[in-house]
């Protein structure tokens, strides 16, 4: 009887050890975080180093557009992504039914309007063509900048989701050309002006502080964030990831590397 008990204890101990080992191996698997090219990717290279000190290994997956990082997160190909602001995330959740939640703020990229043909918005010609992002939140964001600059007026009730159809006053008869955000830097040769998100502007060699002919106020609702699947929000790695990002080292890196063109939002 004693031998059977000893055998049972040995079997249980082996099973527990195996389970613990399996758990440890699962934790050793790198966390896949999706980012867009440019500042988001640069910042996460630094976050990766800090997170590793806390035992969190990260694999950075870089994307060239705003659609795929959320699709990949929903499909389980990513554990988190870091590239979007809350109005965009809210719109994606509403339109696509994603079960995502924001878990921590990251940075703010004041969107800028650039031109190779005019030096200020007031110099835009009548009927001038202005490039804007073709996603609803960033497109509306640009229209709000143009309204703040006095070029157009929007229906008062549209808020952050304005589209060109919501323009009720357009004295210069500006024409809005909706393009994928990543393509807007290339449009500068063809259009009179284009609104370009800061990450894509920097990737194209543009300096938002010097080259933009107009820029969004830093006090905007478009602070970027880290998003995860709703089912994962309370997992320990999420807190570690946010802690690593919102560290003093990352704040200092943002200030030093981007010199005001990217702002810490935490």
pLDDT digits (tens, 9 = 90+) for 115-146: 999 999 999 999 999 999 998 888 999 999 99
Kindly state whether residues 74 and 170 are assigned to the same domain. Answer: no
State CA 225 to chain mean position distance: 6
Cut 0.75: pTM above it: no
pLDDT at 218: 66
Kindly state whether residues 210 and 159 are assigned to the same domain. Answer: yes
Kindly state whether residues 102 and 232 are assigned to the same domain. Answer: yes
pLDDT in tens, 71-118: 999 999 999 999 999 999 999 999 999 999 999 999 998 899 999 999
Kindly state whether residues 79 and 174 are assigned to the same domain. Answer: no
Kindly state whether residues 105 and 87 are assigned to the same domain. Answer: yes
CATH value at residue 49: 3.40.190.10
Pick the closest to residue 65 from 35, 99, 23, 41 (CA basis). 35
The token pair that represents 199 in the structure block: 């990450």
Kindly state whether residues 149 and 102 are assigned to the same domain. Answer: no
Kindly state whether residues 67 and 133 are assigned to the same domain. Answer: no
Q: Under a CB-based contact definition with an 8 Å cutoff, are residues 161 and 137 in contact?
A: yes
Range of the structural domain that residue 117 is part of? 112-215
Q: How far apart are CA 77 and CA 57, in angstroms?
A: 16
Q: How far apart are CA 224 and CA 186, in angstroms?
A: 24
State CA 254 to chain mean position distance: 15
Give yes or no for residue 183 having a pLDDT over 80: yes
Kindly state whether residues 121 and 195 are assigned to the same domain. Answer: yes
Kindly state whether residues 130 and 58 are assigned to the same domain. Answer: no
Q: Looking at 22-148, which runs of residues are DSSP E strands?
A: 31-36, 58-63, 80-85, 100-108, 112-114, 129-133
List Cα–Cα distances, 147 to 40, 69, 85, 169, 246, in angstroms: 28, 31, 21, 10, 33
Last residue of a domain, one of 179, 199, 215: 215
The token pair that represents 52 in the structure block: 């590793």
pLDDT at 129: 98
Kindly state whether residues 97 and 27 are assigned to the same domain. Answer: yes
Q: Under a CB-based contact definition with an 8 Å cutoff, are residues 149 and 171 in contact?
A: no
Kindly state whether residues 159 and 200 are assigned to the same domain. Answer: yes
Q: What's the domain count of the chain?
A: 2
Helix (H, G, I), strand (E, B) or coil at 144: helix
Kindly state whether residues 7 and 104 are assigned to the same domain. Answer: yes
């Amino acid at each position: 009887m004693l031998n059977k008990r000893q055998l049972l204890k040995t079997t249980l101990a082996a099973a527990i050890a195996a389970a613990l080992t399996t758990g440890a191996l699962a934790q050793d698997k790198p966390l896949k975080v999706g980012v867009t090219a440019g500042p988001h990717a640069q910042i996460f290279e630094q976050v990766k180093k800090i997170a590793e000190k806390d035992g969190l290994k990260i694999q950075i997956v870089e994307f060239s557009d705003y659609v795929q990082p959320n699709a990949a997160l929903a499909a389980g190909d990513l554990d988190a992504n870091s590239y979007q602001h809350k109005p965009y995330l809210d719109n994606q959740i509403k339109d696509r039914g994603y079960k995502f939640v924001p878990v921590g703020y990251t940075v703010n990229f004041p969107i800028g309007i650039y031109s190779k043909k005019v030096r200020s918005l007031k110099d835009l010609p009548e009927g001038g063509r202005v490039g804007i992002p073709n996603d609803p939140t960033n497109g509306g964001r640009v229209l709000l900048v143009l309204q703040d600059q006095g070029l157009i007026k929007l229906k008062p009730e549209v808020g952050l989701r304005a589209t060109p159809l919501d323009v009720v006053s357009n004295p210069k008869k500006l024409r809005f050309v909706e393009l994928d955000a990543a393509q807007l830097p290339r449009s500068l040769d063809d259009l009179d002006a284009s609104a370009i998100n800061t990450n894509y502007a920097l990737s194209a060699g543009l300096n938002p502080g010097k080259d933009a002919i107009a820029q969004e106020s830093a006090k905007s609702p478009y602070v970027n964030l880290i998003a995860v699947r709703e089912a994962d929000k309370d997992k320990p790695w999420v807190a570690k990831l946010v802690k690593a990002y919102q560290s003093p080292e990352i704040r200092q890196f943002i200030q030093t590397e981007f010199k005001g063109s990217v702002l810490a939002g935490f």
